[in-house]
Amino acid sequence: MSSIETGVRAPSEADAMRRALELGRRGPATGPNPRVGAVLLDPTGEVLGEGWHRGAGTPHAEVAALTDAAERGADVRGATAVVTLEPCNHTGRTGPCSEALIAAGVGRVVLSVPDPNPVAAGGAERLRAAGVDVETGLLADEGRALLGAWLPSVERGRPFVTLKIATSLDGRIAAADGSSRWITSDVSRRHAHDLRSEVDAIVVGTGTALVDDPSLTARNAAGELHGHQPLRVVVGHRDVPDGARLRGPGGELVQARTHDPAEVLALLTAREVRHVLVEGGPTLAAAFLRAGLVDEVHAYVAPVLLGSGPSAMGDLGVASIGGAVRLTTRSVLPLGPDVFVVATVDPHSPTEEH
């Protein structure tokens, strides 16, 4: 029987899990692999080694911790491995972590979140079969938070989709003459650029690409490109002109020659994209919402009234208030004069797919 079932747990294991979560946050927020941290403890609770996953193709957190312990000259036989995500049980770019822990002689594994990936799952079962004591669920909420968009992406078999809108207080994205720079403040724009640096792809429609000529880059406060640049995805059949800013410095340009949001996500799933930011215009926003493919909405709202001009949202097919797409507010953050709202879409909203 595991200690979680008996209610007995060494205090050092919870402390070690908090440390593992801290280590995991050092890993990249983007890319196909999750953020994971690991700490190795001896029977007295002393740390033998630590590690975290630094990105696709690098050693996983458990192997990094074993390597750290070896470099310290520590004996890990009989040690406890405290890991934020269930050790993988498959060979991908690297070998299975479950086998590495077994080979090292680790006697106990405490993990926060089971791996939902059917390809990689089974590590806990493999460890138990080898006689290793395994406990799951320690600081599970914190473990899920560390995984961010990666976890729902794997669970749903497609990228996690964030819809970003920036509007006036009366829901306009531009004035009647089409001018839109700038409705929101520079504080909001810097915040939005930081968000871009944490996603794998930005998606716009051809209308936005041709009319606004955006660069869709992630830049810091000094206007310099962040180290990570997301894919720049244009949805639609028209070509992006040779001289467009989308063809300048920044992430790879991908043209998704379709109007079907599901096909766009399938294309990006094949490229191991985990988190998509939809920025492109009311038509594309409405298409993703109608298809039931928006997980989260990021709304930057400025204390500005325009009275006319294009709306932030295209036709959702809503004929009455009963058909409204309902959202649940998760957080509200003042950004200079603006307000930033994060909301999740009610899965029971009457979108096209539901």
CA distance 336 to 159: 31
CB 165 within 8 A of CB 300: yes
**From CA 33, how far away is CA 64, in angstroms rounded?**
15
The number of residues making up the chain comes to: 354
What is the Cα–Cα distance from 223 to 201, expressed in whole angstroms? 20
What secondary structure does DSSP assign to 312-325, as a single string?
Answer: SS------SGGG--
User: Quick check: 174 and 63 in contact, CB under 8 A?
Assistant: no
Sheet containing 201-205, strands listed edge to edge, beginning at the edge strand earlier in sequence: 253-256, 231-235, 201-205, 275-278, 160-168, 296-302, 338-345, 327-335
Decide if 296 is catalytic: no
Residue 110 neighbours by CB under 8 Å, 6+ apart: 13, 16, 17, 80, 81, 82, 83, 134, 135, 138
Q: Are 246 and 219 in contact (CB under 8 A)?
A: no
Instruction: Give me the catalytic one of 62, 198, 279, 296.
Output: 62
Cβ-based neighbours of 261, under 8 Å, separated by 6 or more: 235, 287, 288, 291, 293
DSSP labels for 117-142? -TTT--HHHHHHHTT-EEEE-TTHHH
Quick check: 33 and 56 in contact, CB under 8 A? yes
Q: Which residues are catalytic?
A: 62
